[in-house]
A and B are shown apart, each in its own frame.
Chain A
Amino acid sequence: NAGVMQNPRHLVRRRGQEARLRCSPMKGHSHVYWYRQLPEEGLKFMVYLQKENIIDESGMPKERFSAEFPKEGPSILRIQQVVRGDSAAYFCASSPPSLAGGNEQFFGPGTRLTVL
């Protein structure tokens, strides 16, 4: 059973360009979460999605950032007009349908975004 897949693993963009990060959850998982990690920092929750639905985007910056999880295909985190402060590692996690008492989240290897 393949784990959570993310691509690209490394992405370099110039200021003002767009960045698209992809995440394919584990087989059988319908919940996807995106986190951002700055150097020497913990992971920060950005958004929680189920198929075709954004459940909680309270951690997403109000501008330039968007996320989707279409019926077919991977989840996409999109950053428009990137700035240097967007440079970070972006991790995707997935979990199976909700169970009472908390779900184990399985993380992908991350995409390291560098904005020049």
Chain B
Amino acid sequence: QQPVQSPQAVILREGEDAVINCSSSKALYSVHWYRQKHGEAPVFLMILLKGGEQKGHDKISASFNEKKQQSSLYLTASQLSYSGTYFCGTDSGGSNYKLTFGKGTLLTVNP
């Protein structure tokens, strides 16, 4: 079952914050976040594991609520380089490799 991402698209001005949500109808073992720029490879951002943790680096962080079967990606003080499509990939089988990706959230950061 494909996770549902929201919003589908968001437009920000440089310096503004954004939250991208990823919800699953299945129990999750892990959530993987990627950013993809048009025509390029998806770039790994972070993995969150079962256990309800929060991770972050620089101004991008994420949380994982195991009970609610959802994860949120937080982008603070956005930069132009943050523009792209953000995908969450979920592992609901405990395989550690078989990811089911959402349809993505298109983030546009304008000057």
Contacts and interface: CB of A to CB of B under 8 A. Distances in A.
A45 B42 contact: no
B7 to A, nearest CB: 15
Given A41-B103, A102-B49, A104-B47, A56 B41 contact: no
A17 interface: no
A4 interface: yes
A3 B47 CA distance: 19
Interface of A: 3-4, 31, 33, 35, 40-45, 48, 56, 58-59, 91, 95, 98, 100-110
Interface stretch (B55-63, B66-74, B90-98): B90-98
Interface of B: 2, 29-30, 32, 34, 40-44, 47, 49, 87, 89, 91, 95-104
Given A4-B41, A107-B42, A40 B98 contact: no
Most buried by B among A31, A43, A59, A104: A43
Given A91-B42, A102-B29, A109-B41, A40 B97 contact: no
Contact of A42 (B49, B95, B104): B104
A71 B43 CA distance: 27
A105 B99 contact: yes
